[in-house]
Structure 1
């Protein structure tokens, strides 16, 4: 046997041994133990190393977290058994594992984050939004004695633009925009129109034309300054007096563009009927706003993760009235769960679902998990996830873990959910949304 062949055989043997070693359960569990974890303040977690040896386990900051509740423990632990880490105060510490108290085996960075409790919603709510500017949603024709045309379109104003100023004056309503355009027409001059397009301000000049049918000066645009609809409340945070709802952005129905919010209101609503979902045809909750003078909350933000704002108390008709803990993104797991939602009137009901897949997101994204409706009652009534159900809170193991956001068009029994952590961040409740990177 040549030396080269012997080296090759030895290399293959060593490689096979390495694969066998690292694929063994204890070594694999040790190798896949995270180097960074988060714990809610006042809670504990289990660190599973899975090694059949004993070692000392210490924390570098015993004011933040301890091992089995013993500050700076010097006792040897059997690493085959899970090690309990208990949090005491917000902050950072390292859990260090050493053989014989000297040889480092593992170091895990622990961040203790605020213990947040919120009341899950599920109530049907009416949402009314006033946009920050005037949305251009289409063109129409100004009929002059000479021709019919859209001066706005010819001046390169585009559908989806948001008009914020006309002739240097901030424009906040359709009525105000019409007045300023008519004034420019009477003065026989161009109107200077400032629009927001792709987050940039663009100034354009358009000459109003006299419309013989309406007997006023117009620029041939369909414009809108508000939007309204019904949806589902996700949570109310009593300690912060804020709420989150819908789980997705509110967009203009004609342009598909997100609506920049100037202000808005949340009121009671009721579900009046259900259009059952089918493959290729999403269903829908049909509802109406009620008691609109009784404003439940004020909307301040409209983001990819829903609408958010202030609220003095949780609305009536909820299934849960006491605050319950949240689950951090990495604590959500595949398996049975429940959602809270309304399918008739104002009564919130609890329904069984399955979290089919969890997407491990270190940074906020709207599609955090795949869920499947398993409750026969809900399937019979709705066919699965339907429009208007977005924002329905998802509960698992006594915690609120997320909210329903989207339906699979070709399979209405399944859809997406978003982690509750990402919604809380948008509401102004910090949870340290990303696990800290090691320095």
Structure 2
């Protein structure tokens, strides 16, 4: 027989079971919440670490770039301040010392006094170049670790006079330039012996029969003399970077009464430019112009001498497709 109190006990057991299950769920929620809090803190720590590392890397890269930017050699003129570009952060710049050593006591001045060597703070005042000479600088971190060595050349001051005037340029080439062909007319026929032998427009004649050609007249004289003797002429030719020797037999020209090889040559070039400046003591000048070519693949011509003279531009020819522009000029000798 079942006691009437037994259902009450069963109900009490269910109550305690439910309480226990509720407590377990609460503990599980608490544990899960703690793990979420720990994950967030860990993520924040990683983000802060990455940010600090990025800032440090940027600072290091900036310092390295500033270090590379410092030249190994520099030139200044007398009267200029001996200051080198130091684009380091202020915190790092304050820990750098500059050791200055000049070859002579009179090369630099610091606060009005001639000095030979000094240790500088980059944030302070710098010496001034007083006389031409050489100065050696060394940058050291904390005054101990060498960072950079520099050489500064102090040059004398030059005063130049600005130009702007048109000038004529007359140049004497180192050799004779072949500028074209000229047929040699004999009895009823025309020949160009030089072209047949392989000479091209733009070639430079360095010697003829072992003699250096001084002028166009000398070349014509040597060729005529060899033709009269029934001999060939040996021309040493420069074409680009190549040198070659060519043998040519002169042909008698009925029109000129001389022996020729059929070439137009010249030993000089002339042009017009614009004077930029000149230095009155040394007569050194600068002018705008362009390279002079021989007409053969833009081969540049080497000139041994030249001069400039007064000139005036009288007109300009407009450039066209396939043709260059030009100037009409007049030289005043």
Q: In structure 2, which of residues 47, 51, 70 is the aligned counterpart of residue 33 of structure 1?
A: 70
C-alpha spacing 1:9/1:187, structure 2 compared with 1 (3 Å): farther
C-alpha spacing 1:142/1:242, structure 2 compared with 1 (3 Å): same
Corresponding residue of 2:182: 140
Compute the displacement of 1:208 (Å). 0.9
Compute the displacement of 1:44 (Å). 1.9
Corresponding residue of 1:205: 247
Residue segments in structure 1 that go unaligned for 5+ positions in a row:
2-7, 293-439
Q: TM-score, normalised by structure 1?
A: 0.53
| Preserved CA contact (<8 Å) 1:182 1:218 | yes
| Preserved CA contact (<8 Å) 2:273 2:289 | no
Q: Determine if the alignment matches structure 1 residue 115 to structure 2 residue 157.
A: yes
| Preserved CA contact (<8 Å) 2:173 2:303 | yes
Q: In structure 2, which of residues 94, 97, 100 is the aligned counterpart of residue 59 of structure 1?
A: 100
Bigger proportion of residues as strand: 1
Corresponding residue of 2:6: none
Q: How does 1:340-351 map to 2 (within 5 A)?
A: none
Compute the displacement of 1:264 (Å). 2.9
SS at the partner of 2:202?
Answer: coil
Corresponding residue of 2:204: 162
Q: Determine if the alignment matches structure 1 residue 288 to structure 2 residue 295.
A: no
Q: In structure 1, which of residues 244, 258, 263 is the aligned counterpart of residue 300 of structure 2?
A: 258
Alpha-carbon separation, structure 2, partners of 1:102 and 1:190: 77
Corresponding residue of 2:128: 86
Q: In structure 1, which of residues 4, 11, 21 is the aligned counterpart of residue 59 of structure 2?
A: 21
Compute the displacement of 1:165 (Å). 3.1
Corresponding residue of 1:172: 214
SS at the partner of 1:16?
Answer: helix
Corresponding residue of 2:22: none
Alpha-carbon separation, structure 2, partners of 1:166 and 1:183: 12
Compute the displacement of 1:125 (Å). 1.0
**Larger of the two Rg values belongs to structure:** 2
Alpha-carbon separation, structure 2, partners of 1:52 and 1:245: 45
| Preserved CA contact (<8 Å) 1:47 1:83 | no
Compute the displacement of 1:235 (Å). 2.7
Corresponding residue of 2:4: none
How many residues are paired up?
281
Compute the displacement of 1:272 (Å). 1.9
Residue segments in structure 2 that go unaligned for 5+ positions in a row:
1-38, 40-45
C-alpha spacing 1:39/1:278, structure 2 compared with 1 (3 Å): farther
Compute the displacement of 1:186 (Å). 2.0
Q: Determine if the alignment matches structure 1 residue 44 to structure 2 residue 65.
A: no
Compute the displacement of 1:191 (Å). 1.8
Corresponding residue of 1:246: 288
The more displaced of 251-260 and 200-209 is: 251-260
Q: In structure 2, which of residues 226, 231, 235 is the aligned counterpart of residue 184 of structure 1?
A: 226
String of CA shifts for 1:408-428, please: whole Å, max 9, x gaps.
Answer: xxxxxxxxxxxxxxxxxxxxx
Alpha-carbon separation, structure 1, partners of 2:330 and 2:100: 56
Alpha-carbon separation, structure 1, partners of 2:320 and 2:226: 52
Alpha-carbon separation, structure 1, partners of 2:242 and 2:146: 54
Alpha-carbon separation, structure 1, partners of 2:179 and 2:323: 25
Compute the displacement of 1:279 (Å). 11
